[in-house]
């Protein structure tokens, strides 16, 4: 992993070439937690080399799992044996929350410091805790620590007040070894959840309804080993599509699933794309006097649970729409503090107005400059934004992008971007 904390980007280059997409970060992380549910070996292929995965591997080792990283393959062997987790690792990443479901199902107790991650708003664990309580766990929050214990878990009917991805995945992990049937109502439907269920089913879990708002899990006595290749990372794919929309050019995204990207492509608007079964071919005309292959138009957009527009794509879409002559309206309904990137884009001339959870944005008189990232997707959005501005810009905060993108600058450099980490 590179050590520099800034990207220096000289914008204005078209992007051409092929990109291989790795497995989705948001699928691999819960899969690693799921591997603790069995004593047998679980193999996850095509994992990205990112810091969130590195930290999750450390977490698994701390609770007793044997973990072997072999290139993009991660092998996990051995059920969890302890509930002790380093608070340093917990606070580094939000995905330590998956230890709630995995550990309560195996060792029967977990003490977890409130998880960290990106500063994009409050992300409480109340939906997780409510669901685990219905399965028979006794849970409480005390002095910044979540404490859960259970002698046994029993299936239950659980209505989620919001289709939280993390809570849905956590409750799946907890219920696959519970006694009896669990029904999750108003659960999340993301492709990464479908991918997680595919692994668990290979391990012997009995699950129905993934990809819908109601799932049924019949608990089993034990799970076995399995091997899985997770779904490709749709947010990484959307990042390349956003950059292409701004710069023009032609890209082939190998492994991309066009179905998972339909809301992104629809919102971006000026990228022509077709799938050949194993890759997504996308192109956009280089902007000249505001003329595009497909007109770069403003839009009204609201983020929400899948299949609505993903909140993780919001900073990337904002970058794209800051090159539109019309006014785009973005309503952020998932996280209340996810517009910090817009204030940075404003420094470089973007027309931005923020009113609570709604942002209004259009092009303005753009010029190069320095921007500071405060979160993972914000850093990606600022970098993509800089790629469309003639001259040299700097994006500070590369530590964030390393959490979710493998070799961000090298991969963009390989398709024509003038980008350097320093």
Q: Domain map of the chain by residue range?
A: 6-21+232-421, 25-228
Contact 211, 187 (CB under 8 A): no
Q: Report the predicted TM-score, pTM, of the whole model to 2 decimal places.
A: 0.93
- Fold type of domain 25-228: UDP-n-acetylglucosamine1-carboxyvinyl-transferase; Chain (3.65.10)
Phi, psi of 35 (to 5 degrees): -65, -20
CA dihedral 412, 413, 419, 422 (to 10 degrees): 100
Q: What is the pLDDT of residue 115?
A: 56
* Whether residue 118 lies in the annotated active site: yes
First to last CA, the chain: 13
Pairing, β 226-228 against β 42-44: parallel
**Displacement of CA 1 from its chain's centroid (Å):** 19
- Fold type of domain 6-21+232-421: UDP-n-acetylglucosamine1-carboxyvinyl-transferase; Chain (3.65.10)
CA dihedral 373, 376, 380, 381 (to 10 degrees): -70
| Nearest one of 264, 240, 243 to 254, comparing CA atoms | 240
Strand partners, 114: none
From first to last of its 422 residues, what are the pLDDT tens digits of the chain? 445 699 999 999 999 999 999 999 999 999 999 999 999 999 999 999 999 999 899 989 989 999 999 999 999 998 888 887 766 666 565 557 878 899 999 999 888 776 544 443 444 688 999 999 999 999 887 777 788 899 999 999 999 999 999 999 999 999 999 999 999 999 999 999 999 999 999 999 999 999 999 999 999 999 999 999 999 999 999 999 999 999 999 999 999 999 999 999 999 988 999 998 789 999 998 766 545 444 568 999 999 999 999 999 999 999 999 998 899 999 999 877 789 999 999 999 999 999 999 999 998 999 999 999 999 999 999 999 999 999 999 999 999 999 999 999 999 999 999 999 99
Q: Which of 47, 118, 379, 417 is catalytic?
A: 118
CA–CA distance, 87 with 197 (Å, rounded to integer) = 29
Q: What is the pLDDT of residue 122?
A: 43
User: Quick check: do 6-21+232-421 and 25-228 share a fold?
Assistant: yes
Q: What angle, rounded to 10 degrees, do the helices at 234-247 and 314-321 form?
A: 10
């Amino acid at each position: 992993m590179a050590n520099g904390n800034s990207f220096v980007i000289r914008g204005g280059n078209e992007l051409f070439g092929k990109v291989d997409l790795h497995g989705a970060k948001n699928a691999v992380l819960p899969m690693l937690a799921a591997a603790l549910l069995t004593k047998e070996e679980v193999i996850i292929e095509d994992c990205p080399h990112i810091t969130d995965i590195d930290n999750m591997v450390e977490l698994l080792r701390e609770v007793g799992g044997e973990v072997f990283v072999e290139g993009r393959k991660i092998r996990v062997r051995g059920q969890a044996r302890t509930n002790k987790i380093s608070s340093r690792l917990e606070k580094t990443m939000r995905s330590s929350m998956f230890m709630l479901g995995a550990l309560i199902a195996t060792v029967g107790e977990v003490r977890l410091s409130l998880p960290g991650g990106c500063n994009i708003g409050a992300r409480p664990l109340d939906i997780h805790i409510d669901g685990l309580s219905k399965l028979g766990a006794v849970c409480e929050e005390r002095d910044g620590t979540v404490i859960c214990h259970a002698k046994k878990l029993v299936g239950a009917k659980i209505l989620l007040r919001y289709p939280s991805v993390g809570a849905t995945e956590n409750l799946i992990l907890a219920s696959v070894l519970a006694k009896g049937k669990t029904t999750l109502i108003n659960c999340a439907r993301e492709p990464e959840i479908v991918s997680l269920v595919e692994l668990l089913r290979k391990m012997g879990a009995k699950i129905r309804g993934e990809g819908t708002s109601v799932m049924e899990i019949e608990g089993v006595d034990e799970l076995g080993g399995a091997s899985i290749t997770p779904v490709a990372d749709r947010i990484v794919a959307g990042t390349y599509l956003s950059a292409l929309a701004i710069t023009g050019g032609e890209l082939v995204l190998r492994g991309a699933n066009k179905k998972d990207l339909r809301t992104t492509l629809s919102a971006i608007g000026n990228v022509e794309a077709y799938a050949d079964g194993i890759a997504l071919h996308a192109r956009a005309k280089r902007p000249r006097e505001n003329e595009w292959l497909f007109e770069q138009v403003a839009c009204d957009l609201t983020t929400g649970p899948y299949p609505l527009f993903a909140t993780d794509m919001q900073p990337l879409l904002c970058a794209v729409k800051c090159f539109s002559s019309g006014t785009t309206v973005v309503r952020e309904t998932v996280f209340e503090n996810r517009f910090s990137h817009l204030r940075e884009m404003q420094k470089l001339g973007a027309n931005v107005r923020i009113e609570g959870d709604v942002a209004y944005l259009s092009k303005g008189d753009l010029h190069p400059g320095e921007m500071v990232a405060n979160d993972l997707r914000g850093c990606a959005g600022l970098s993509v934004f800089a790629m469309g501005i003639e001259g040299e810009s700097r994006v500070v905060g590369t530590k964030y992008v390393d959490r979710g993108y493998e070799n961000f600058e090298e991969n963009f450099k390989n398709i024509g971007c003038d980008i350097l980490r320093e």
